[in-house]
Amino acid sequence: MCRLLLDTYPSALCLNVVKENNVEVSLFFDLKKMDERNVKKVFVKSGVYFGFSGKKEEEFRTQLIQLAVNMAGHVDLPEKHGWYTNQDGRKYAFPEMLTWKEIFELC
């Protein structure tokens, strides 16, 4: 599953992957920092590998990210916890919900 996390703030991509030991991992990418170095850093930090040689692994990550961005659904995120207003009206961001600040700490 993948989601584009959007608002009037910068966009991020959340990509949920299942590793070979059936552990689900969420990968968060800042779409303004999508160079190969930062993409590789997110995958390596999360322990997600595809078992290819270096060049092939890089190509596979690039294709996966491109596919994920094209397929991702959109989710609006609040700037902070508590009450906020967006184009859909007034809403409440509960403590267990992710905010923009928390997302970019994960990127």
Q: Would you say 100 and 31 are in contact if contact means Cβ atoms under 8 Å apart?
A: no
β-strand 2-6 against 12-18: which pairing, if any?
antiparallel
Q: How far apart are CA 31 and CA 47, in angstroms?
A: 20
pLDDT tens digits, 71-98: 877 777 777 777 877 777 777 777 777 7
pLDDT at 2 (0 to 100): 44
Residue 9, pLDDT > 70, answer: no
Q: 99 is in which domain, residue-wise? A: 2-106
| Rounded alpha-carbon distances, angstroms, from residue 27 to 45, 85, 90, 105 | 9, 28, 29, 12
Global confidence as pTM: 0.66
Indicate the number of domains in the chain. Answer: 1
Tokens of 103: 């997302």
β partners of residue 91: 84
- For residues 84 and 70, what is the distance between their CA atoms, to the nearest angstrom? 29
